[in-house]
């Protein structure tokens, strides 16, 4: 048991929550806090140490996110054991043949002959493209992305507001560096973990917004002190809900009714939504409060690292001042080939084809699941686009046991809780993520029949 | 005049140097500190505010690096005027035809037909390469880089120690995130500015090591509190000196004689050194104290963003823990094509050819300069490899006037001082950077004849 005898150093420049986090981490490593040991409640600890409740909250949150402690609903925080650490113990789980990964993409339909030819022609005709490019990205690509976003989503911006990056993480990081230092970031829980990790690793202040299968109420933002909100309004990763037009307006109002507020809107899955599309939050904004960010991982393939961010002009100006050594870390050939792929209509054609393919895979998966004996124990939600949906299971069998049973049948299927940063209302129920993007139909059939073997006794 | 009435907030979590920096910045913006006004000396201010001298030092350094104040040798710190801010006033300088840029590369000799064919074949034969790759980079590329470094520099490492990145900045940033939070980074002054910017923008603690045209004494490291030292031992950017074998041993001893010390060694220009090569510091290290980092910007072209870092095993382990969402942000096709370009010997052949070409350009440039009337006013240093050297000018004409005179002849040539983070002993003399990598010979001849027109009266 730790005596929690931490001496805070107010002159070190190290935030108090971080000093507490490091102290607790040390106590865990040296065994003063043992596996399975219950930690003091956040209220108790903040009273004992005479610090702000947010300080303890932030320290516990960081330890949870990094896998050292876990929150048992209605019970408290406990130091994790090795067995609890499923992610890290991946090698104790059997190998798998089928993977219902939320990140599964069908890359076999990409017209790679067209890509190959585009690359060869571009390289042969433009040897100068081995040289320095433009700092924010090649104009030809900025223009192509601008047109694509305008044509498909009605997004109106100047091409020079578009900054090209490699991968989302670096762009998110750079964007955070043009914000004020004390910016508090609001992130949905659960969310795309890398967003949390990227900010957390640089000690940015984060407030989690617990979501349900239907999303979150805008009310949660008030009194939260959040300055910058991350949202994926089309098809949230991983829960899958779509933010209504009404709530998009509420979020705009929220952004306009406080200082230094911004919304970072992700393009994610916007091309693959079945219903008539809703206006992006970016297009409802008249006050330059929305940052729009996206990539081509889903629409083309994960190997295409090119990402983009549309910055409001005041932030663009700050970027030029503060990040004046930034240059787009994407090979110029890739930028030109992507621009041409878009300009010549190959991209639109490909998206249309894939949207149809993914919708059919989704229908096929659901029809196969209907044949399963456990189908009456599950409720499917948010099968409204993209390459995944979630399903709630009404059973007493623990989630981990279900996951292990599937693995023993060589099927990898992951509980929604794997994406939690910290426990949430969704923790009270059992959800699994059904990603189908990476499957051929025969694989869907076989994977589902193996799930029947694993879960037939639910 | 500001009354320097800053109230430090010891509970905010914001480092004191940063609070001082922001206070002074505010005073500059609101006019309380006027253009050209002299700031208190660092000693006076730290006494007045009752803070550590390092706090004032760091605040002044940040303001200098960002262009708000400048240091007049033997005089003090002054708030900058708009006219002093040359970089930002690039548009007041005339356009140019010839650019002696240190970053100039000859890309016309790259065998682009080979590149084009490699891309086309790779994409056609491996459509799966549109899918997810390996987190730290494709094994085929890790192995190719490992072999290249072993064959050319005797660097001995496991391929799994090599992490592939896009661009240097992100890799440097990520590397800093696996260091302890309070790590103090040692950077040469002058240096590659982006290294300073990347760390500075994330509020990392930096100590500058003032260098001369011959480098720096290892003695400067003692009592400096530096933990992690950045060096470019082959051909320093921008001064051009090479670190002797003796000093490389000294640096290894320094790294081994203190806690949490590392050397980050840049590969930069190692392929283009004329003399018999000296052992990399990495190879002299037996204690896993050296991190080796490089890219292909000089050896192939600036558009090739692939970069690599070789991490000692303890840091590799930390990377896997802390940066567990990291994935290499480089298109898989680019990784495979680069790997094949290296494996099939095209890369070695190209480097050999370019080394010879650059050496001849250097010789030609010097022979043309010998024809100039100002040649007896200049001393050339560090013309020992790569694509640039520096030259000291013995003249009373101010640097800026020389620069402007050259510009009026449509020649862009940049003083070495442009790379200073803060003033250094080199500030007392006038150096210019002669980058020749981007010139054809006839351009060298014409550019030099225009320099004669500009500087004939020195």
Give the Cα separation of A353 and B392 in Å (integer).
Answer: 63
Encode chain B (458 residues) as per-residue pLDDT tens digits: 788 889 888 877 677 888 898 899 888 877 788 888 889 988 889 888 989 888 898 888 888 877 788 877 667 888 876 444 444 445 567 789 999 999 999 999 999 999 999 999 999 999 899 999 999 999 999 999 999 999 999 999 999 999 999 999 999 999 999 999 889 999 999 999 999 999 998 889 999 999 999 999 999 998 889 999 999 999 999 999 999 999 999 999 999 999 899 999 999 999 999 987 899 999 999 999 999 999 999 999 999 999 999 999 999 999 998 898 899 999 999 999 999 999 999 999 999 999 999 999 999 999 999 999 999 999 999 999 999 999 999 999 999 999 999 999 999 999 999 999 888 888 889 999 999 999 999 999 999 999 999 999 87
Nearest residue to A414 via CA among A280, A238, A272, A242: A238
Show residues of chain A in contact with B197, CB under 8 Å.
323-325
Closest approach of B255 to chain A, Cα-based (Å): 25
Q: How confident is the model at residue A195 (pLDDT cuts 50, 70, 90)?
A: very high
Q: Which pLDDT belongs to residue A427?
A: 83
Q: What is the pLDDT of residues A210-264, one digit of tens each?
A: 999 999 999 999 888 999 999 999 999 999 999 999 999 999 999 999 989 999 9
Show residues of chain A in contact with B128, CB under 8 Å.
107
Q: How confident is the model at residue A423 (pLDDT cuts 50, 70, 90)?
A: confident
Q: Which pLDDT belongs to residue A81?
A: 61
Give the Cα separation of B264 and A199 in Å (integer).
Answer: 25
Identify the weakest region by mean pLDDT among A49-63, A349-363, B299-313, B370-384. A49-63
Residue A293 phi/psi, 5-degree rounding, is: -135, 140
Cβ separation A333–B303 shorter than 8 A: yes
Residue A85 pLDDT > 80: no
User: What's the pTM?
Assistant: 0.84
Q: Which pLDDT belongs to residue B62?
A: 80
Residue A86 pLDDT > 60: no
Q: What is the mean pLDDT of residues A269-294?
A: 94
CB proximity B224 to A under 8 Å: no
Size of interface A-B (CB pairs under 8 A): 170
Q: What is the DSSP string of B56-123?
A: HHHHHHHHHHTTSEEEETTTEEEEPPTTT-TTTTGGGSPP-SEE--TT----TTS-HHHHHHHHHHHH
Residue with tokens 């470019």: B232
Residue A99 pLDDT > 50: yes
Would you state the structure tokens that stand for residue A265, as one six-digit string? Answer: 């809107």
Cβ separation B333–A119 shorter than 8 A: yes
Cβ separation B327–A177 shorter than 8 A: no
CB proximity A364 to B under 8 Å: no
Q: For B239-264, what is the HEC assignment? A: CCCCCCHHHHHHHHHHHHCCCCCEEE
Q: How confident is the model at residue A88 (pLDDT cuts 50, 70, 90)?
A: very low
CB proximity A50 to B under 8 Å: no
pLDDT over 90 for what percent of chain A? 73
Cβ separation B301–A131 shorter than 8 A: yes
Half-sphere exposure (Cβ direction) of B284: Cα atoms closer than 13 Å: 20
Show residues of chain B in contact with A62, CB under 8 Å.
none
Q: Which pLDDT belongs to residue B11?
A: 78
Q: Which pLDDT belongs to residue A89?
A: 45
Residue A188 pLDDT > 90: yes
Q: What is the mean pLDDT of residues A90-108?
A: 86
Contact by Cβ (8 Å): A177, A321: no
What number of other Cβ atoms are within 10 A of residue A437's Cβ?
A: 22
Give the Cα separation of B278 and B251 in Å (integer).
Answer: 14
pLDDT over 70 for what percent of chain A? 97
Q: What is the mean pLDDT of residues A55-82?
A: 79
Give the Cα separation of A115 and B119 in Å (integer).
Answer: 9
Show residues of chain A in contact with B25, CB under 8 Å.
none
Closest approach of B245 to chain A, Cα-based (Å): 32
Closest approach of B69 to chain A, Cα-based (Å): 15
Measured at the CA of B329, the angle between CA A261 and CA A158, to 5 degrees, comes to: 45
Q: B390-415: string of b/e by CB count within 10 Å (b at 16+)?
A: bbbbebeeebeebbebbbebbbbbbb
- Give the best residue of A123, A327, A336 to mutate against chain B (max B CB count within 10 A): A123
Would you state the structure tokens that stand for residue A26, as one six-digit string? Answer: 């040390």
**CATH 1.10.3720.10 applies to domain B1-95:** no
Residue A196 pLDDT > 80: yes
Q: Which pLDDT belongs to residue B84?
A: 42
Q: Which pLDDT belongs to residue B139?
A: 96
Show residues of chain A in contact with B322, CB under 8 Å.
201
Show residues of chain A in contact with B198, CB under 8 Å.
325
Q: Show which of residues 129-158 on chain A sit within 8 Å of chain B, judged by CB atoms.
A: 129-133
What residue in B sits closest to A196 (Cα-Cα)? B325
**Domain range annotation of chain A:** 1-95, 116-346
Mean pLDDT of chain A: 92
Contact by Cβ (8 Å): B138, A118: no
What is the third-level CATH fold of A116-346? 3.40.640
Q: For chain A, what is the HEC assignment? A: CCCCCCCCCCCCCCCHHHHHHHHHHHHHHCCCCCCCCECCCHHHHHHHHCCCHHHHHHHHHHHHHCCCEEEECCCEEEECCCCCCCCCCHHHCCCCCEECCCCCCCCCCCCHHHHHHHHHHHHHHCHHHHCCCCCCCCHHHHHHHHHHHHHHHCCCCCHHHEEEEECHHHHHHHHHHCCCCCCEEEEEECCCHHHHHHHHHCCCEEEEEECECCECCHHHHCCCCCCEEEECCCCCCCCCCCCCHHHHHHHHHHHHCCCCCEEEEECCCHHHECCCCCCCHHHHCCCCCEEEEEECCCCCCCCCCEEEEECCHHHHHHHHHHCCCCCCCCCHHHHHHHHHHHHCCHHHHHHHHHHHHHHHHHHHHHHHHHCCHHHHHEEEECCCECCEEEEEECCCCCHHHHHHHHHHCCEECCEHHHHCCCCCHHHHCEEEEEECCCCCHHHHHHHHHHHHHHHCCC
Q: What is the pLDDT of residues A387-418, one digit of tens each?
A: 999 999 999 999 999 999 999 999 999 999 99
Q: What is the mean pLDDT of residues A318-341?
A: 94
- Give the best residue of B201, B295, B319 to mutate against chain A (max A CB count within 10 A): B201
Show residues of chain A in contact with B113, CB under 8 Å.
124
């Amino acid at each position: 048991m730790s005596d929690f005898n931490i001496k805070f150093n107010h002159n070190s420049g190290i935030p108090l929550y971080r000093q507490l986090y490091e102290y607790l981490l040390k106590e865990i490593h040296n065994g003063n806090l043992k596996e399975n040991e219950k930690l003091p409640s956040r209220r108790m600890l903040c009273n004992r140490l005479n610090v702000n409740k947010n300080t303890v909250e932030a320290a516990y949150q960081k330890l949870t996110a990094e896998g050292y402690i876990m929150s048992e609903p209605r019970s408290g925080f406990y130091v994790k054991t090795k067995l609890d650490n499923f992610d890290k113990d991946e090698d104790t789980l059997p190998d798998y043949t089928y993977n219902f990964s939320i990140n599964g993409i069908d890359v076999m339909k990409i017209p790679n002959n067209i890509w190959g030819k585009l690359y060869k022609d571009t390289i042969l005709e433009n040897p100068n493209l081995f040289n320095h490019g433009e700092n924010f990205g090649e104009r030809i690509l900025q223009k192509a992305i601008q047109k694509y976003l305008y044509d498909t989503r009605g997004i109106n911006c100047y091409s020079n507001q578009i900054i090209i990056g490699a991968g989302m993480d670096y762009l998110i990081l750079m964007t955070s560096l043009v914000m004020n230092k004390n910016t508090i970031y609001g992130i949905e829980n659960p969310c795309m973990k890398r967003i949390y990790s990227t900010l957390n690793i640089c000690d940015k202040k984060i407030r989690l917004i617990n979501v349900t299968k239907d999303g979150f109420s805008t009310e949660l933002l008030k009194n939260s002190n959040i300055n910058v909100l991350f949202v994926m309004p089309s098809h949230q990763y991983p829960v899958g809900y779509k933010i209504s037009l009404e709530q998009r307006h509420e979020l705009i109002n929220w952004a306009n009714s406080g200082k230094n507020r911004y919304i970072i809107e992700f393009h994610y899955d916007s091309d693959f939504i079945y219903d008539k599309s809703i206006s992006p939050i970016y297009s409802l904004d008249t006050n330059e409060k929305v940052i729009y960010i996206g990539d081509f991982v889903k629409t083309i393939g994960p190997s295409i690292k090119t990402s983009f961010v549309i910055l409001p002009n005041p932030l663009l100006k700050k970027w030029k001042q503060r990040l004046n050594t930034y240059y787009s870390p994407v090979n110029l050939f890739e930028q030109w080939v992507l621009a041409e792929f878009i300009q010549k209509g190959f991209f639109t054609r490909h998206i249309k084809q894939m949207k149809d393919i993914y919708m059919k895979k989704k229908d096929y998966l659901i029809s196969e699941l209907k044949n399963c004996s456990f189908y009456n124990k599950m409720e499917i939600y948010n099968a409204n686009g993209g390459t995944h949906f979630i399903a709630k299971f009404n059973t007493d069998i623990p989630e981990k046991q279900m996951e292990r049973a599937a693995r023993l049948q060589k099927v990898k299927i992951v509980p929604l809780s794997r994406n939690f940063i910290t426990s949430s209302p969704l923790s009270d129920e059992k959800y699994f993520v059904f990603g189908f993007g990476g499957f051929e139909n025969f694989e869907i059939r076989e994977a589902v029949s193996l799930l029947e073997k694993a879960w037939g006794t639910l």
